Chains A and B, each alone.
Chain A
């Protein structure tokens, strides 16, 4: 949708991707004023060919959330005319996003490259698991697989159990955030016209380069980091504990130790040599957990959260997804949008520009804008399958 005064007003994004990553990037661009046209295939809402956003989510929640901000135009990419149509769209676009994997028969990337060969100037953002080069270019993959390959998975979970994946589609939307930032780096900050740029956005690269410690820790010290559960490697208390009615995250920085001990009514711990500094507290974490758990289980989650924060300690109540609906903080910041049904709340875009939170349109139905896109871009007509 166009918004006067927004940085990307007047730019056209063709989203030929299927996954959450491309949709994430596209929604952010839409929120900043870009017009986003999602290219979909006939019958996409009935089968996995619409990709993960609908076919693999039988309730449609993924698309209802991540599909917002886009128009939907249907092209039959199994036909020559459909592929030619994608080339024509790309020729007139400013940004084209695709996530075709090697071995995929859609020919999306080829169609986009034809537009490039015709000297069209646009940013082509290719999102793939392992990139467009290298020996793993065609390795079968998924978000958990790249997470494992990147080295990040080794840091998640308990030290004496199997490593853990990130929940839901977080890896994919993380890659989408990186794709958004990569795309913005190709849009001229002086306001000038687009130039050609090919972005190779590999999920593996994004993840491997986001670990705050691992690579330089190993290259500097030879230490190979590994998972610590909810603990931190060289500081304590830093964990998640059970409390009276739920779970509480507690972190006590060095400067907060005395305050914390007094709150627990355990001034003796201040002078205990086992707990003299954060490094020694980490060494004695198991002993400390016995003391802490006996205390946390006498208090409720909200008590611990509120009173810990009142003492300037980074305590965090372990809230659920649904708890967000009752969050006074999110309500005060006008975080939620409302779905077209007038009742369901949708998570809004996660930032404000000059105190105003941008909004995006509801997710489109399949082919809702095919007619207008076809006319505007002079494409061959495609019959849209009705459910």
Chain B
């Protein structure tokens, strides 16, 4: 399928972000055609990895850090494809002024700094709208731009803990757990991209800009809002940690197969599926003994033990095939290499191809959805540090060559990590 006109062509986004939430939002916007300019600091690199990686740090193609490891990290590439890079220090007056010139030529700012940072640079929303009155700006943070905890330091796991998510996640006999997926950042970044697009429409219809304040703890609290109702109605059990069990379905769990760390997930949601599962196990007596969900829930340990006994003697693929052919919802708990090798994933081009050395390519996360049969993906590789200084400062911001030279000489812009210039 050929690429359709991209919805955000002609839109320019300035990205002041680090780690995952902000870059993920910028990635979604860039995948949809926006020109995303990532403003980076050479003193505090985003997830470009260590400048001098210790032995054993594996972030690079074929585990080779090369001469410039800060430009080769898969983490940076995955989050920042389709973007331009300007390496500029905003804490210096010339950097701040250069940034304001860029703002005047842009449509959107995406940022995920702590709330105090941009105002400290004199770059709060009020200052920015002085040069771009219809600016759309989204500030992603852990706790929000206002309130007594706004300055709390928040990584993704911090938000999971404070938002109640960690209390819900874990084994029934174990402590609260982290997702390991930086889930609040993914959710915040996804929502932020949609809100930016809606604010751009508002600009067209109503005039004026929009300042979007998005707090990740609120995103999680909203997504678990139904549990809050249960808590207020005297149903604290709705917030219990259940492991892989489910309050409404049984059996519902993850079971071991032959081999190291091989598992399958089984989710029986109807009595018909249960009869089918019992048939696959060759145990029609189980279907008769536990015909209803309530019966299975009351005897869940015994039911799960039967399934455990069956799966433990089977290869993962065989167990999945037999259950699926009987209409039982099941899947291998897939590892990354299994997902990459999946026929279904290949058929749908779920992952995009990222250019490597020579004509090689490597698989990378693709667009989250397909539109008219086409999936957004990589159009340009992630930028090297400061790779587009001249283009952005010259062509977009209107600096002369001499002015750009002066900025370099003052250490305001550059293409190498500061650590290497010390």
Residues of A near any B CB (own CB < 8 A):
5-8, 24, 28, 32, 56-57, 59, 61-62, 64-66, 130-131, 133-136, 139-142, 144-158, 161-170, 173-174, 177-191, 197-202, 204-206, 208-230, 232, 234, 238, 240, 242, 247-249, 251, 277, 279, 309, 312-325, 328-330, 332-333, 335, 344-355
- Residues of A near B187 (CB, < 8 A) are 174, 177
- Residues of B near A187 (CB, < 8 A) are 197-198, 201
- Residues of B near A247 (CB, < 8 A) are 161, 166, 175-176
Question: What's the Cα separation between A198 and B372 when bound, in Å?
Answer: 5
Q: Which of B160, B191, B339 contacts A151 (CB 8 A)?
A: B339
* A67 → B minimal CB distance (Å): 10
Kindly report which residue of chain A lies nearest to residue B63, judged by CB atoms: A221
* A387 → B minimal CB distance (Å): 20
What 3 A-B pairs are tightest by C-beta distance, nearest first? A316-B161, A347-B225, A181-B194
Q: Which of B169, B206, B214 contacts A5 (CB 8 A)?
A: B206
Kindly report which residue of chain B lies nearest to residue A29, judged by CB atoms: B198
- Residues of B near A200 (CB, < 8 A) are 369-371, 373
Q: Which of B7, B170, B178, B372 contacts A189 (CB 8 A)?
A: B7
Kindly report which residue of chain B lies nearest to residue A343, judged by CB atoms: B232
Kindly report which residue of chain B lies nearest to residue A238, judged by CB atoms: B157
* B392 → A minimal CB distance (Å): 23
Contact B211 A59 (CB under 8 A): no
Contact A210 B365 (CB under 8 A): yes
- Residues of B near A133 (CB, < 8 A) are 347-348
Within 8 A of A (CB), among B142-195: 143-144, 146-150, 152-155, 157-171, 174-183, 185-187, 190-191, 193-195
Within 8 A of A (CB), among B186-224: 186-187, 190-191, 193-195, 197-206, 210-215, 217-219, 221-224
Contact B333 A279 (CB under 8 A): no
Known: A217-B336, A350-B222. A142 touches B269 (CB 8 A): yes
Contact B191 A140 (CB under 8 A): no
B94 within 8 A of A: no
Residue in A190, A206, A313, A347 whose Cβ sees the most chain B Cβ within 10 Å: A347
- Residues of A near B143 (CB, < 8 A) are 329
Question: What's the Cα separation between A155 and B8 when bound, in Å?
Answer: 33
- Residues of A near B329 (CB, < 8 A) are 140-142, 145
- Residues of B near A62 (CB, < 8 A) are 226
B302 within 8 A of A: no
Kindly report which residue of chain B lies nearest to residue A313, judged by CB atoms: B153
Kindly report which residue of chain B lies nearest to residue A211, judged by CB atoms: B181
Contact B190 A230 (CB under 8 A): no
Q: Which of B50-58, B284-292, B396-404 contacts its partner? A: B50-58
Q: Which of B35-43, B97-105, B241-249, B413-421 contacts its partner? A: B241-249
* B403 → A minimal CB distance (Å): 33
- Residues of A near B201 (CB, < 8 A) are 7-8, 184, 187-191
* B350 → A minimal CB distance (Å): 5
* B184 → A minimal CB distance (Å): 11
- Residues of A near B2 (CB, < 8 A) are none
Q: Which of B74-82, B85-93, B383-391 contacts its partner? A: B74-82
Kindly report which residue of chain A lies nearest to residue B345, judged by CB atoms: A208
Q: Mind listing 5 A-B residue pairs with CB under 8 Å?
A: A66-B225, A66-B226, A156-B177, A200-B373, A216-B77
Kindly report which residue of chain A lies nearest to residue B19, judged by CB atoms: A212
